[in-house]
Chain A
Amino acid sequence: MSALAERPGVRRPRERRRSPWRRLPAAPLSLAAGAAAWELIGHLADVSFFPPLSTVLARLADITSEGMILGSLGGSLINLAAGFAISLVAGLAIGVAMGRYRKVEAALGIYVYALLTAPSLVFAPIFFSLLGAGRGSIIAVVVMYAMFVIVINTASAIQSVPAHLVEMARSYGAGEGRILLRVMLPAALPMIMAGVRLGVGRAVTGMINGEMFIAVVGLGHVVTEAGGRFDSAEVLAVLLVVIAVALSAVGLVQAVDRRVTRWVPKTTRGH
């Protein structure tokens, strides 16, 4: 990387100069600058669809004290948790089966891949007709968003377990079940977790989109309603909450990831 940063030609300074920017914590500064710009532009532009940050925060405080945010947040989190749990269990099971058995992969691979790349929300009307305008449909949308990336990553993780590890276990007399549980799953775990991390991000998206389409509960419902009332401050306030939910969900999975894949050498992690 340093070669990328270095200019051609020989510099001959006594001490290599380091940019003063490098010492600053980038993320908080950048966020603070963004917040200030938002506030400023909001005031200067003075348009209904882009209120300044302070207005949005005030609105957020209002709807929180009214109890609306917490109620919707709870509803959303139930959708998210249920959908994600189903995606995780089913995704791992299908992924392991696809990674282990060539015939399962032959049978399912192309469809899983197609569903991964297809726009998942077009299935919402189908779930609507099957499950009605309720929580079940929203959870199904979440599963549609989150499951396939977990399947694909798990399958390829299992497939890329080094053959020599499996041969080693077999040479010590391990049976198929034990090889799967003690060798293949642990070896595949880092890559599986990468899929799970992507899955949780997509689950949050699925949650909001599903709730916006089948607007009965949750934060997505609030967004749709506020949008209908042209209440931009409330839309943005809920958007902030949604971002917080998304970041914490991903953060949670990352924390779990770090705990369970502690054996992976730091250099290959890319953190």
Chain B
Amino acid sequence: MSTVTRHRGPRCASGFRGPRRASGFRAGPQPEQRPAPLRRLVNAAPLYQFLTFAVFAVGWELYARTRGGLLIPTFAETVQATAGLLGTAELWRAMYASNQALVLGFAIAVVAGVPAGIVLGRFRTLERFADVYLNILLVTPMAAIIPLLVMSVGFGLASRVILVAIFSIVMVVVNSRAGVRQVDPSLIEMARSFGATERQIWTRILLPGALPAIMTGIRLGLGRAVTGMVIVELLMVSTALGGLILEYRGLFKAPELYGTIVIILAEALLLISVARWSERKLTRWARPNPARSA
């Protein structure tokens, strides 16, 4: 079971910056190379990213025009509707309501989850007994408890906040725990050899050492918090952004329906990018450094 959490850990999904294999190499005389500027353009990632997007957009447009149904807008209509929605007060009100739950729930998850994870990482016995629950929580579809939440605290803000917190706290706990656990034991030994007190070991070794993993947990937790926010609004408590989606679906306003989804996705990706950026800023030292192997 422990492997489930292990691979959720710090660097599970950030893989494709890994080392480059040398298999593209061919022996023998090199073929004539294209002029440098052209080659750079052809090899540039943005060009390919744009091409992918263009293919996607054109495909969507064609599909919607030829086979489209009542609930399938064209790409152009969706772009238009998205821009239009951004000018309506209704959207921003929904945005505010959704994000209220997101901010509160996520704050609870961080404030409670980081200390809980640190404690679990440091005290092994406690951790052994909590492990089975963390593993269950990691694989359990949390959405199934939404009905219980509604029964206990109603359809208001509270149930959305609680669900967002529950969604994100597991990630925060698991990664903070891994962070404390993966601090190099020889650093603790080193600190003790210089007479560090238990308190100094915490503040000078364990917490800074665990910081990168804690930050990763906060970033992954933020992703899950956004998921929780959307899910609760879509499945049970139809208010705010999720409520807007359901409303547009009911009214067969397809472009607005898709536009709302685009806006939610944009917000999620923006938040996660900000989290990723600040994670890198704060834990620059933990990035793999080529000089280390020299």
Question: Is any CB of A less than 8 Å from a CB of B in the complex?
Answer: yes
Binding site for B on A (CB under 8 A): 1-5, 7-8, 19, 21-22, 26-27, 29-31, 33-34, 47-50, 98, 100, 102-103, 105-111, 113-114, 116-126, 128-130, 149, 152-153, 155-163, 166-167, 170, 179, 191, 194-195, 197-198, 201, 204-205, 207-209, 212-213, 220, 223-224, 226-228, 230, 232, 235-236, 238-239, 242-243, 246-247, 250, 254, 269-271
CB distance from B24 to the nearest CB of A (A): 8
Instruction: List, sorted by A's number, 17 A–B pairs whose CB atoms are closer than 8 Å.
Output: A1-B124, A1-B185, A30-B132, A109-B16, A113-B13, A121-B235, A129-B254, A161-B21, A166-B22, A197-B4, A198-B7, A201-B138, A204-B139, A205-B141, A208-B141, A227-B236, A235-B148
Q: Which residues of A contact B132 (CB under 8 A)?
A: 26-27, 30-31
Q: Are A26 and B131 in contact (CB under 8 A)?
A: yes
Task: Give Cα A227–Cα B254 distance, bound, in whole angstroms.
Answer: 29
Residues of A close to B3: CB separation below 8 A:
194, 197, 254, 269-271
B103-140 contacts to A, CB under 8 A, are 122, 124-125, 128-133, 136, 138-140
Take A123-B261, A163-B21 as given contacts and tell me if A153 and B12 are in contact as well, using a CB distance cutoff of 8 Å: yes
Rounded to whole Å, the gap between the CB of A256 and the closest CB of chain B is 13
Contact present for B261 and A125 (CB under 8 Å): yes
CB-based contact B52/A107 at 8 Å:
yes
Residues of B within 8 A of A4 (CB): 122, 124, 181, 183, 185, 188
Are B261 and A30 closer than 8 Å at their CB atoms?
no
Q: Are B152 and A121 in contact (CB under 8 A)?
A: no
Task: Name the contact of A152 in the complex, choosing from B13, B70, B145, B197 (C-beta under 8 A).
Answer: B13
Known contacts: A29-B129, A110-B49, A128-B249. The answer to whether A209 contacts B231 by CB under 8 A is yes
Q: How many Å lie between the Cα of A156 and that of B15 in the bound state?
A: 5
Bound form: Cα–Cα A67–B204 in Å: 59
State A40–B144 Cα separation when bound (angstroms): 23
Give CA–CA (A37, B257) in the complex, Å: 45
Question: Which of A50, A111, A209, A230 has the largest count of B CB atoms less than 10 A from its CB?
Answer: A209
Identify the closest chain B residue to A28 (Cβ). B132
Of residues 219 through 254 on chain B, the ones whose CB sits less than 8 Å from some CB of chain A are 223, 226-227, 229-231, 234-236, 245-246, 249, 254
What B residues does A242 contact at CB under 8 A? 140-141, 144
Is the Cβ of A243 less than 8 Å from the Cβ of B140? yes
| B75 touches A (CB below 8 Å) | no
- Closest B residue to A247 using CB positions: B139
Q: Give Cα distance in the complex from A243 to B144, angstroms.
A: 10
Whether A117 touches B145, Cβ cut-off 8 Å, given contacts A8-B197, A31-B132, is no
Interface membership of B20, Cβ < 8 A: yes
- Evaluate contact between A224 and B147: CB separation under 8 angstroms: yes
- Chain A residues within 8 Å of B148, by CB: 49-50, 227, 232, 235-236
Knowing A153-B12, A242-B141, the reply to whether A227 touches B150 (Cβ < 8 A) is yes
Minimum CB–CB distance from B8 to chain A (whole Å) comes to: 7
B144 touching A220 by the CB < 8 A rule? yes
Q: How far does the alpha carbon of A162 sit from the alpha carbon of B4 in the complex, in Å?
A: 25
Residues of B within 8 A of A (CB): 1-4, 6-8, 12-13, 15-16, 18-24, 43-45, 47-49, 51-53, 69-72, 122, 124-125, 128-133, 136, 138-148, 150-152, 181, 183, 185-186, 188-189, 192, 196-198, 201, 223, 226-227, 229-231, 234-236, 245-246, 249, 254, 257-258, 261, 264-265, 268-269, 272
Residues A49 and B152 in contact, CB atoms below 8 Å apart: yes
Partner of A107 from B48, B128, B265 at Cβ < 8 Å: B48
Is the pair A117, B15 in contact by a Cβ cutoff of 8 Å?
A: no
Q: Nearest chain A CB to B227's CB is how many angstroms away? A: 4
Q: Please, which residues of chain B bring their CB within 8 A of the CB of A102?
A: 24, 43
Between B1, B23, B226, B234, the greatest number of chain A beta carbons within 10 A of the residue's beta carbon is seen for: B23
* Contact flag A159-B19 (CB < 8 Å), given A213-B234, A239-B145: yes
Across the interface, A230 reaches (CB within 8 A) one of B125, B151, B229, B264, namely B151
Q: How far is the CB of B155 from chain A (nearest CB, A)?
A: 12
Partner of A159, one of B21, B44, B234: B21
Task: Choose from A27, A163, A197 the contact partner of B22 (Cβ within 8 Å).
Answer: A163
Q: Are B261 and A126 in contact (CB under 8 A)?
A: yes
- Is the CB–CB distance between B147 and A34 below 8 Å? no
B92 to A: closest C-beta gap in Å? 18
Nearest-CB residue, chain B, relative to A115: B265
What A residues does B2 contact at CB under 8 A?
Answer: 270-271
Known A-B contacts A122-B261, A128-B71, A129-B257; the reply to A116 vs B139 at CB < 8 A is no
Residue of B nearest to A4 (CB): B185
Q: Is the CB of B186 within 8 A of A114?
A: no
Residue of A nearest to B197 (CB): A8
Residue of B nearest to A3 (CB): B185
Give the residues in chain B near A149, CB-CB below 8 Å.
13
Asked whether A2 lies within 8 Å of B147 as measured between CB atoms, the reply is no
Which of A122, A125, A271 meets B265, CB within 8 Å?
A122
Closest beta carbon of chain A to B83's beta carbon, Å? 19
Q: Return the chain A residue nearest B276 by Cβ.
A: A117
**Would you give the shortest CB distance from B143 to chain A, in whole angstroms?**
5
Q: Is there contact, CB below 8 Å, between B15 and A155? A: yes
Quick one: given A22-B125, A153-B15, are A117 and B223 in contact (CB under 8 Å)? yes
